[in-house]
């Protein structure tokens, strides 16, 4: 009997991780090879065209398990009826940024999404938060979706878990599938504690402890830990972009084991709501070793914790935000050791009984901050588009200089006809850029976004660049219009003092539009 499709929401679906994740879901990597799915994709307005492209690719791939695709910028539409929500969207972390630097920017995003999920998702919807800082974002989502069961909100530390497995397999030169039961304790950050004290390797002659097989305690207690902790930063340094493929794969692993269960005798790492196990303060989202069965996770109990591990586990716990007891009038406060959050973020996180007027005021602040985040993202995209557009223009200029004739020296069509009347065709195609340049002569052209070069006909090369230039000009114009519209809209609400400086605002609203470019069909 055919199964009913499961609805899976992916936020930030037009981004790197989302683009890698949705085909994995459609292929069955997340929920099983016989489980039909309907994928809901959500992203911000400036990414609407890219989101449309992702939907087209999913349709073109003709995945047998994919029963439908919803692509939208409306959070309510995206959340309707979803059974699983993978929260990938968030303010992007850039090279040199710590997770705490992007913490405050994600509050307004997750507040709105939490509200929509609470009202419109399926009653038993399972939520996985991927966007960093993942533990904190998961707690924010829980705070603003109080009716959601605590066990239904988790965050991704499976990526760190898999990284630890990979490091051990590389060190011992064994298959990664033979290594199991590493643990990631704490926060998905540079303070996390990768623990191998209970990990084993299947040697073919039984299970043996990792520590015994490695035989190098200084490496296990130092270099191994820092390598796993800083792996994300190392990837950003190498790619100039954050982890995408490995993050998407780990998200699939996380949901797969949560829904379908972990193998007997094996545990995995998940960021879950602490119940006080292992002396970790309750009320924080903390990574524990868990087993899963019938859609429920359970923290593995009774593991021996040595003094070294205790110190590492407590250190990472101190970095995390917590909630106080339900009786307290204030929840979501941060520990004193953590840098205080901006005033707006505190207003969002503190659950205070407010009258109707204050609630309306708070909602207005949320809307303004969301518009400001979208504005800054659009501005970043505009700058990046201009950089690529300028490079394309320089390449096009160089090609035009190589042409044997210029546009002004192209002969009249009548002269060409008369000159070719005896031995060549009566009509000769004249290119506005290269004139009667030999169309078979080749030149080198680099593929955009790569280091690959190809030798292609000169005429084809400049034609490609000219079409790309037209597209870049059009996209820049759209982004400029969006940035100006949002800038004026936000400035009229008069609450930008702590969000965008007046100098930046003036720069945004005084952008000069480029000459009108006709859109191609």
Going from the C-alpha of 236 to that of each of 110, 227, 379, the distances in angstroms are 24, 14, 22
What single DSSP character describes residue 518?
A: P
In contact, 168 and 210? CB cutoff 8 Å = yes
437 in active site: no
What single DSSP character describes residue 298?
A: E
b/e per residue 155-182 (b: at least 16 CB within 10 A): bbbbbbbbbbbbbbbebbebeeebbbbb
In contact, 282 and 317? CB cutoff 8 Å = no
Angle (CA) 469-473-475 rounded to 5° is 115
Going from the C-alpha of 159 to that of each of 164, 316, 506, the distances in angstroms are 9, 17, 41
b/e per residue 57-96 (b: at least 16 CB within 10 A): ebeeeebebbeebbbbbebeebbbebbbbbbbbbbbbeee
Task: Give the position of tokens 């540079």.
Answer: 190
In contact, 450 and 464? CB cutoff 8 Å = no
Active-site pick, 188, 198, 256, 437: 188
Contacts 24+ apart (CB under 8 A), 19-24: 19/54, 19/244, 20/244, 20/245, 20/247, 20/248, 20/249, 21/86, 21/88, 21/248, 21/251, 21/252, 22/54, 22/58, 23/57, 23/58, 23/61, 23/63, 24/248, 24/249, 24/252
How far is Cα of residue 484 from the mean position of the Cα atoms in its chain? 26
For the chain, what is the largest distance between any 2 Cα atoms, rounded to a whole number of angstroms? 99
Active site members: 188
């Amino acid at each position: 009997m055919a199964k009913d499709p499961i609805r899976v929401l992916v936020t930030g679906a037009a981004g790197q991780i989302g683009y890698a994740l949705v085909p994995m879901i459609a292929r069955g990597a997340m929920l099983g090879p016989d489980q039909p799915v309907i994928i809901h994709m959500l992203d911000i307005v400036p990414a609407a065209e890219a989101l449309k492209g992702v939907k087209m690719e999913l349709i073109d791939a003709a995945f047998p398990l994919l029963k439908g695709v919803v692509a939208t910028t409306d959070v309510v539409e995206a959340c309707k009826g979803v059974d699983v929500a993978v929260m990938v969207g968030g303010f992007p972390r850039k090279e040199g940024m710590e997770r705490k630097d992007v913490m405050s920017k994600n509050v307004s995003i997750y507040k709105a999404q939490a509200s929509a999920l609470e009202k419109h998702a399926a009653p038993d919807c399972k939520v996985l938060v991927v966007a960093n800082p993942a533990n904190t974002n998961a707690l924010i989502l829980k705070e603003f979706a109080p009716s959601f069961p605590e066990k239904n909100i988790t965050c991704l530390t499976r990526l760190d878990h898999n990284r630890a497995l990979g490091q051990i397999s590389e060190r011992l030169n064994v298959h990664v599938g033979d290594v199991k039961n590493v643990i990631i304790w704490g926060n998905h950050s540079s303070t996390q504690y990768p623990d191998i004290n209970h990990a084993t390797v299947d040697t073919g002659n039984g299970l043996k402890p990792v520590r015994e097989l490695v035989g190098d305690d200084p490496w296990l207690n130092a270099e191994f830990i820092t390598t796993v902790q800083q792996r994300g930063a190392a990837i950003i340094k190498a790619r100039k972009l954050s982890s995408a493929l490995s993050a998407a794969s780990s998200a699939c692993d996380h949901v797969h084991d949560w829904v379908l269960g972990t193998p007997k005798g094996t545990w995995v790492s998940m960021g879950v709501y602490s119940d006080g196990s292992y002396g970790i303060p309750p009320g924080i989202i903390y990574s524990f070793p868990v087993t899963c069965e019938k859609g429920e996770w359970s923290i593995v109990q009774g593991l021996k914790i040595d003094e070294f591990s205790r110190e590492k586990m407590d250190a990472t716990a101190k970095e995390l935000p917590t909630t106080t007891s339900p009786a307290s009038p204030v929840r979501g406060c941060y520990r004193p050791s953590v840098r205080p959050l901006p005033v707006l973020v505190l207003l969002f996180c503190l659950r205070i009984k407010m009258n109707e007027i204050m609630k309306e005021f708070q909602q207005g602040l949320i809307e303004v901050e969301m518009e400001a985040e979208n504005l800054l993202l659009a501005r970043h995209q505009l700058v990046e588009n201009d950089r690529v557009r300028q490079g394309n223009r320089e390449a096009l200029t160089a090609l035009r200089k190589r042409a044997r004739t210029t546009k002004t020296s192209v002969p009249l069509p009548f002269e060409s006809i008369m000159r070719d009347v005896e031995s060549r065709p009566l009509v000769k195609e004249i290119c506005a850029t290269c004139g009667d340049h030999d169309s078979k002569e080749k030149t080198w052209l680099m593929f955009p976004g790569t280091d690959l070069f190809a030798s292609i006909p000169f005429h084809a090369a400049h034609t490609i660049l000219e079409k790309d230039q037209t597209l870049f000009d059009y996209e820049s114009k759209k982004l400029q219009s969006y940035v100006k519209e949002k800038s004026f809209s936000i400035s009229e609400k008069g609450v930008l003092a702590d969000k965008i400086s007046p100098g930046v605002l003036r720069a945004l609203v005084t952008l000069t539009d480029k000459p009108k470019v006709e859109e191609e069909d």
